[in-house]
Amino acid sequence: MGKVALITGITGQDGSYLTELLLEKGYQVHGVMRRASNFTTQRIDHLYSDRHEGDIRLHLHYGDLVDAISLRRIISEAKPDEVYNLAAQSHVRTSFDQPVYTSEVIAIGTLHLLEAIRDYRDSSGADVRFYQASSSEMYGKAAEIPQTEYTPFYPRSPYACAKVQAHWQTVNYREAYGLFACNGILFNHESPRRGETFVTRKITRAATRIKLGLQDLLYLGNLDAKRDWGFAGEYVETMWLMLQQEDPDDYVVATGQSHSVREFAQEAFGCLDLNWQEYVRFDPRYLRPTEVNTLQGDATKARNLLGWKPKVMMSQLCRMMVDADMRLAQQERTLVDAGHLV
């Protein structure tokens, strides 16, 4: 029987790609998802339809990081060898409007999970390995470019502050209790599965709809913000690699290249032979109270110790997302033309 993995945030972008990877490697995968009034499993539904009869290796559990009792119950039922904590209130701008909730889910939720894992390990004797999804947003007002594992954190949002606490709690449980616990400091990673409120997907979705006459304009905030954008489908491999090492450690995961929101918009619209400047408008409502100007990662450590390096760079990533969103826009256009959508 293969290893057992538990993934919080399994229905998100990263959770879906990680689930695919682990199933391909023969894992039994247990996922934690919050109960909601609408179905939220669209990103992993194909993993159910693709499975062979009797080959049930994907199991979903209702739970929440703010509910410590549910986490303990799920861990005792799943008996995981590896735990990947990907759950979060993950939208930085939203964290300014919901700072307490963001902190409860990310910071306190991670602490709940670490305690549950420690208690399970101590009571069962199991060797449980833990991955924490840290974020490049922790660098915030960065002291240096590019950022490495040794660059000081200077968080500039409630989201980033909560991630810093979760990061250091993970380090503390590693050092204080001998837990095999790793932080993956992932820089921005996108895909066709990215939520439509995130700026990259917002751009590619709008560009394709504008191309087909379904939308007129796109409103954005800080066009000068620069980010290190990679492909989420590649980045999840580093999560797995971290937990396969002899010793736990923390790693930056990035492409090493930084591009502005303006450049991403230009690239996306250019894929469709459109001039982005004709359709993009500035809206101050999308500005953050405190901005993060430039994030660019140095993944030398991951390359040397994990043997990992990115293959998909920004232009390829943008084309991948535009192509996927064009298919969605074409479906929408067909429904509009048939009178099914107004």
Question: CA-to-CA distance for 9 and 70, rounded, in angstroms?
Answer: 14
Q: Using CA of residue 103, residue 147, residue 169, residue 68, what is the dihedral sign?
A: positive
Residue 281 CB partners (closer than 8 Å, separation 6+): 217, 218, 219, 220
Catalytic residues: 135, 137, 159
- Alpha helices for 82-194 (secondary structure H): 92-97, 99-103, 109-124, 158-177
The upper half-sphere exposure of residue 342, i.e. CA atoms within 13 Å in the direction of its Cβ, equals 0
Asked whether 72 and 22 are in contact (CB, 8 A), the reply is no
Show the CA angle centred on residue 219, arms to residues 217 and 223, nearest 5°.
125
Tell me the DSSP string of 197-255.
TSHHHHHHHHHHHHHTTS---EEES-TT-EE--EEHHHHHHHHHHHTTSSS--EEEE--
Question: CA-to-CA distance for 26 and 31, rounded, in angstroms?
Answer: 15
Q: Output the six-digit token pair for 174.
A: 């590693």
Show the CA angle centred on residue 84, arms to residues 79 and 90, nearest 5°.
140
How far is the CA of 301 from the CAs of 145, 149, 150, 189, 249, in angstroms? 16, 8, 11, 18, 10
Q: Using CA of residue 291, residue 294, residue 295, residue 301, what is the dihedral sign?
A: negative
Asked whether 276 and 268 are in contact (CB, 8 A), the reply is yes
How far is the CA of 193 from the CAs of 15, 229, 233, 263, in angstroms? 10, 14, 10, 21
